[in-house]
Amino acid sequence: MTIKLICLDADDTLWHNMRHFNAAEESLFTMLRPFAEADIARDRLARCEERNLKLYGYGAKGFTLSMIETALEVGGDRLPPQLIRDILHAGRQLLAHPVELLGDIQQTLESLAQRGRLALVTKGDLLHQESKLAASGLGDLFATIEIVSDKKAATFERLFERQGVRPEEAVMAGDSLRSDVLPALEAGAWAAFVPHDLQWSHEHAEEPVGHRRYKRLGSLADLPAWIDEIGLAA
């Protein structure tokens, strides 16, 4: 089977992302230390994020609103206005952090582009994701850019139809089982899990071990070889 469309996640697949969210979280917990222990604040923030996803979606802006809401929950009327300003500053820093590519990404994408059309499939805030892609210098390697509110099987089905490929002619690779691997498999495509050292608990899911169209890779640099294997096995 020849792979014609190679779909790739962005955050923590092409460039670092969670390290910046973790730094913002730690800043928040330090700010809230007079009002709550770090474990309590962390649990409140996680529940607030989960609750707010359907309202704000994914990305730094929604996360900043969840940090503010968490602070109001734990601090109540004792919360000083300056702390809200400090949280907003942490959110702005999150939006302005430099784009740091993961190792050998440029070379890997160039190798993948020789094997099929590249599609960036990422979720999050439109403006922020566009600015990160522009700063990465990788944009010209992609035939299509898809910035979506969430990744479901239907997301990939629509993409395959627009790109004129059958599901079995497409592969998706990313660091999230929940968002990258499982919906791509459900849509009938191949899927590669490329774990990152840091991952948001929301993205955890059961690994589909034994699925014939699934592969766990040590790094994205291993993807070209697996695509070649898929072609040889046809």
pLDDT at 204 over 90: no
Work out the angle at residue 103's Cα, subtended by the Cα atoms of residues 97 and 107, and round it to the nearest 5 degrees.
115
Summarised one tens digit per residue, pLDDT across range 105-151 is 999 999 999 999 999 999 988 889 999 999 999 999 999 999 998 89
CA distance 176 to 178: 5
Quote the pTM value: 0.89
Crossing angle for the helix pair 60-75 and 81-96, to the nearest 10 degrees: 160
CA distance 218 to 93: 31
Amino acid found at 1: M
Contact 134, 23 (CB under 8 A): no
pLDDT attached to residue 100: 94
The CATH architecture annotation of domain 5-16+100-232 reads: 3-Layer(aba) Sandwich (3.40)
CATH topology classification for 18-96? DNA polymerase; domain 1 (1.10.150)
pLDDT attached to residue 198: 58
Crossing angle for the helix pair 18-31 and 60-75, to the nearest 10 degrees: 20
pLDDT at 200 over 60: no
pLDDT at 2 over 70: yes
Q: Which percentage of the chain shows pLDDT scores above 70?
A: 96
CA distance 180 to 13: 10
Summarised one tens digit per residue, pLDDT across range 21-64 is 999 999 999 999 999 999 999 999 999 999 998 888 888 899 99
Residue 49: which of 211, 204, 200, 209 has the closest Cα? 200
Each domain of the chain, given as residue ranges in start order, spans 5-16+100-232, 18-96
Residue 73: exposure state from Cβ atoms within 10 A (0-12, 13-18, ≥19): middle
Residue 113: which of 5, 209, 220 has the closest Cα? 5
Summarised one tens digit per residue, pLDDT across range 69-111 is 999 999 988 999 999 999 999 999 999 889 999 989 999 999 9
